[in-house]
């Protein structure tokens, strides 16, 4: 319910009152009753056999499952480049279905030339911002991690944060950057005990908490004034267009027959 008066809007002439909603604690506390485990999709950004971003993603998966989450890891092998195949390609469909299934994501990339890898970016580019009226990633949580070949850097995670905002996701405050990743994993691909590992635990714990807090409230949190206003305007245009078409169909057709049977009395057509 809108809790404002006409006088309260007198100094805000640009506001469309019918589309405005006043944020209230009672509304924020409402949450859909969800009984299933939090659903987390993990993406990694390398195809190498000994891929440290994959190793780190798998460590994250183990922790998330310990914290009570249901997880899926997408294998990017055989995923075509964006626009290099139709969106009916099996790997594209698999990725999009997993994105729709998930309530949160983990993006893990190596840093290459000071940036996230093209392999991870290609996965994100295949996830559309919208499918009809549905935005597949809006309101979902996101954790970002990177592995470094040398000293610790944050270029890739910073880029992924920008992408997360662009995809309308809630990116959690914590993040992980593993320096000299070749020293941090054993021969079987398991991560060794270290402060880097402890940070991964922190990040996954935080992701699980934020997902539990937000997943039932996402529809309320991403409900926007501009989109409500646009929807109202579209409805108005559609109704008015329908009314105009109906009026035009129902209107009597003018008689253009010459009154005396000759063309001299006929109405002018085409400016002649």
Q: What pLDDT, on a 0 to 100 scale, did the predictor assign at position 5?
A: 64
Q: What pLDDT, on a 0 to 100 scale, did the predictor assign at position 22?
A: 87
pTM for the model: 0.80
Q: What is the pLDDT along the chain (272 residues), one digit of tens a residue?
A: 455 666 678 888 898 888 888 888 888 888 888 889 999 999 999 999 999 999 999 999 999 999 999 999 999 999 999 999 999 999 999 999 999 999 999 999 999 999 999 999 999 999 988 776 567 899 999 999 999 989 899 999 999 999 999 999 999 999 999 999 999 999 999 999 999 999 999 999 999 999 999 998 888 888 888 888 887 667 566 556 555 554 555 555 555 444 444 444 444 444 44
Domain architecture of the chain: domains with CATH: 36-221 (3.40.50.360)
Q: What pLDDT, on a 0 to 100 scale, did the predictor assign at position 2?
A: 56
Residue 174 near residue 43, CB atoms below 8 Å: no
Q: What pLDDT, on a 0 to 100 scale, did the predictor assign at position 266?
A: 45
Q: What pLDDT, on a 0 to 100 scale, did the predictor assign at position 237?
A: 67
């Amino acid at each position: 319910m809108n809790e404002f008066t006409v006088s309260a809007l007198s100094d805000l002439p640009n506001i469309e009152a019918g589309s405005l909603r006043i944020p209230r604690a009672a509304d924020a506390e409402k949450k859909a009753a969800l009984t299933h485990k939090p659903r987390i999709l993990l993406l990694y950004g390398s195809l190498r056999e000994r891929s440290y971003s994959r190793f780190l993603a798998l460590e994250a998966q183990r922790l998330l499952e310990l914290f009570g989450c249901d997880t899926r890891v997408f294998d990017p092998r055989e995923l075509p480049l964006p626009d290099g195949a139709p969106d009916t390609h099996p790997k594209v469909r698999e990725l999009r279905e997993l994105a729709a299934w998930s309530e949160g994501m983990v993006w893990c990339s190596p840093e290459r030339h000071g940036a996230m890898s093209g392999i991870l970016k290609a996965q994100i580019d295949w996830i559309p911002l919208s499918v009809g009226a549905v935005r597949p990633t809006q309101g979902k949580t996101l954790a970002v991690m990177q592995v470094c070949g040398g000293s610790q850097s944050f270029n890739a995670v910073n880029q992924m944060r920008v992408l997360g905002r662009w995809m309308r996701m809630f990116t959690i405050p914590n993040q992980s950057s593993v320096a000299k990743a070749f020293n941090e994993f054993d021969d079987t691909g398991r991560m060794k005990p270290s402060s880097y590992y402890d940070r991964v635990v922190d990040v996954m714990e935080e992701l699980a908490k934020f997902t539990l807090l937000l997943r039932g409230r996402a529809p309320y949190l991403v409900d926007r004034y501009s989109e409500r206003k646009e929807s109202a305007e579209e409805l108005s245009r559609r109704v008015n267009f329908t009314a105009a078409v109906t009026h035009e169909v129902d209107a009597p057709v003018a008689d253009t027959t010459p009154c005396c049977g000759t063309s001299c009395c006929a109405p002018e057509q085409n400016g002649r």
